[in-house]
């Protein structure tokens, strides 16, 4: 996995402390994280608005993707380097929302079967949100 500063460099971003830390965090946790979570984690290191703008900027460059969790809160997760480019995203995987710990993880291993829509409907994007108990919270 590429190091965060290098990624920022290649994308034309400045290597500021907060941007490096946010990106490293996203790489490490392998979960979909929200702005409020980042705000708690990086308390006082950056303004709320800064975090929102960092996430938007990263998403525009295609290194993270945005999903709505079951509470209607935006979450962002690293894109799978194999599948995503700046122009085209392939995030048609399962997003698992744990009702115990609230974590949201991308289950890349689970593939979404083909959905057959009525002819008059066209599909552009797809997000499968599953609620349940994650592996960490199973007793």
Residues forming contacts to a copy of itself in the complex (CB under 8 A) are: 68-74, 94, 96, 99, 107, 109-110, 112-113, 115-118, 120-135, 138
In the bound state with a copy of itself, the residue whose beta carbon lies nearer, of 16 and 132, is 132
What is the per-residue DSSP string for 46-107? S-HHHHHHHHHHHHHTTSEEEEE-TTS-EEEEE--TTT--SS-----EEEEEETTT--EEEE
Q: Which does 76 bind (CB under 5 to 8 A by kind): a copy of itself, DNA, none?
A: none
Residue 88: how many CA atoms within 13 Å on its side-chain side?
4
Residue 83 interacts with DNA (CB under 7 A): yes or no: no
User: Could you tell me whether strands 93-98 and 104-111 are parallel, antiparallel, or unpaired per DSSP bridges?
Assistant: antiparallel
Q: Is 41 within 8 Å of 25 (Cβ atoms)?
A: yes
Phi/psi at 75 (nearest 5 deg)? -130, 150
Q: How far is the CB of 114 from DNA (least distance, A)?
A: 30
| Residues 12-31, interacting with DNA (CB under 7 A) | 12-19
Segment contacting DNA (CB under 7 A): 23-31, 51-59, 101-109, 111-119?
51-59
SS3 26: helix
| 75 token code pair | 């979450």
In the bound state with a copy of itself, the residue whose beta carbon lies nearer, of 13 and 96, is 96
Residue 63 interacts with DNA (CB under 7 A): yes or no: no
Residue 128 interacts with DNA (CB under 7 A): yes or no: no
Task: Write out the residues near DNA by the rule CB under 7 A.
Answer: 9, 12-19, 34-36, 45-50, 52-54, 56-57, 72-74
């Amino acid at each position: 996995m590429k190091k965060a500063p290098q990624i920022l460099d290649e994308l034309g971003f400045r290597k500021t402390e907060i941007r490096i830390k946010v990106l490293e965090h996203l790489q490490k946790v392998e979960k979909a994280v929200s702005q409020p979570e980042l705000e708690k984690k990086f308390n006082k290191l950056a303004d709320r608005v800064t975090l929102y703008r960092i996430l938007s900027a990263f998403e525009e460059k295609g290194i993270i993707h945005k999903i709505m969790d079951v509470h209607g809160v935006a979450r962002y997760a690293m894109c799978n380097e194999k599948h995503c480019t700046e122009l085209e995203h392939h995030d048609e995987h399962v997003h698992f929302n744990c009702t115990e710990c609230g974590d949201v993880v991308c289950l890349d291993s689970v593939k979404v079967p083909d959905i057959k829509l009525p002819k008059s409907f066209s599909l552009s994007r797809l997000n499968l949100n599953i609620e349940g108990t994650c592996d960490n919270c199973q007793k």
